[in-house]
Amino acid sequence: MSGKLDQLKEILGEVSDVYHAASVLEWDQQVNMPPGGSDARGQQLGTLGKIAHEKSTSDEVGKLLQDLKHEFTDAESDDAALVRVSARNYDKATRVPSQFVSKQAIVTTKALEAWVEAKGKSDFSIFRPHLEKVVELVQEYISFFPPADHPYDILLDDYEPGMKTSEVKEIFNNLRPNQVELIKSIKSAKQVKDDFLHKKYNEKKVWDFSEAVISKFGYDFNRGRQDKAPHPFQTTFSVNDTRITNRFESENPLSTLFSAMHEAGHAMYEQGSNPIYERTPLAGGTSLAVHESQSRMWENLVGRSLPFWEYFFPELKKTFPSQLDGVSAKSFYKAINKVEPSMIRVNADESTYNLHVMLRLELEIGMVEGKFAIKDLPEIWNAKMQDYLGIVPPNDAQGVLQDVHWSSGLMGYFSTYALGNLVSAQLWEKINADITDLDDQIRKGKFDSLLGWLREKVHIFGHKYDPQDLIEKVTGSKIDSAAYVRYLTKKYSDIYGL
């Protein structure tokens, strides 16, 4: 092995360690930290971010990458992929001053605490000055890079390498009319009954049931755990320490179950990354859309399927006999797939979910362009909810404050949620072609073949391949909406008798 490659790996390993240490602090901030610790935590995260940034953008790393570019020419080799991905990361990181990284960590840490308070009080004015600073920093970040076709391209590329805003808009423009047409058809059909989903359910029993389900999926609790946080998320400290968080909503108690499936999908992707990639930029998922394809697949294509509930419903009914008295597995399946415009994105049904994402993409682009003033965001949000879904949030908590992402400076992120839905359906068609008795396996509570397929075809590669290349390698096509439209049409035609 090249001595220079060893040197590069040693430095990148130290950078990875620092970033993962910061991730532990960020996890703790949402799970354990008292509110009074936010200022100190922001300084700590700022310091770690600055150290990692300076180390990863050093002249030594640049020289090693320059020398190694010509040493590894086999595009399929892990070493060539490591050099390619590291060079790309280096080019982006060297454009961003370390002082900016530190400043952004401090601002977003305070913004997160303000968001938690603002959401709790349903008062956007508490969050507004912090979001204004976040957006200013986002615009400053964009200024570090050469002009792109659209300024939003620079943000999107951080989460979906190589993808352009124009491509996302085209995909969404092809998808939107199909989803709108389906929703119109469903509106004219008889609505399904779901009142039993909103009865009082014991929180601990729901939590324990969720852990039993994801353990059955293959989420390894020896290398993971589930804790409570204001907003469900997944985080990775190593391939052997991949954690998820969840929450309980008394008005929508079973959402805990589906959030667990969702976050476990992310975590199983990380747990399946090739161990030899540990402490390198090849570790973990290749992009947010591919990552989201895993979470949405386990949550929806598996967890909201009839075969799944033909296996799990008897146990759920035994756990909650009074709530589910007289309810059949088929009725429960229809209820959890009820199509109805809703305020909260993470609880939205599959037919309307992507519209929530399209709304956020429009708002983010408007903020980046300076077209929308932050003070006007609640009003703009409500107007667009009316346009997209025909409903208006009754308060800020159920409207503009519902998502945590902007408080962390995560702009450019939201479109990957919808793209992940499309990828999940593309993969699902390929999986069912390869595992012809998949429904029967799920009906028996067996998920080994499904997880094994995902491990072999997707997870093991980590970040070795760029997302579009990986999707094409596995399915024969780049990201496309056709499979998802087929999936939705078939599923909801059955549920609503279309």
| Catalytic residue annotation | 263
DSSP secondary structure code for residue 408 in this structure: G
Residues in the chain: 498
- C-alpha distances in Å from residue 182, one per residue of 172, 179, 186, 379, 492: 15, 5, 6, 28, 8
Spatial separation of the C-alpha atoms in residues 464 and 355, rounded to whole Å:
31
What is the Cα Rg of the chain in Å? 22
User: Of the candidates 339, 325, 341, 322, which has an alpha carbon nearest to the alpha carbon of residue 192?
Assistant: 339
Q: Which residues contact 487 (CB under 8 A, 6 or more apart)?
A: 301, 425, 428
User: Of the candidates 113, 22, 168, which has an alpha carbon nearest to the alpha carbon of residue 468?
Assistant: 168
| E strand map for 240-304 | 241-246
* β partners of residue 238: 241
SS3 458: coil
Which class for 66: exposed (0-12), middle (13-18), buried (19 or more C-beta within 10 A)?
Answer: exposed
Structure tokens belonging to residue 320: 């909650």
What H or E segment, with its residue span, contains residue 109? helix 98-121
Q: Which residues of 287-299 are buried (b: 16+ CB within 10 A; e: fewer)?
A: bbbbbbbbbbbbb
What H or E segment, with its residue span, contains residue 234? strand 234-238
Quick one: residue 57, left, alpha or beta (phi over 0 = left, psi -120 to 50 = alpha)? Answer: alpha
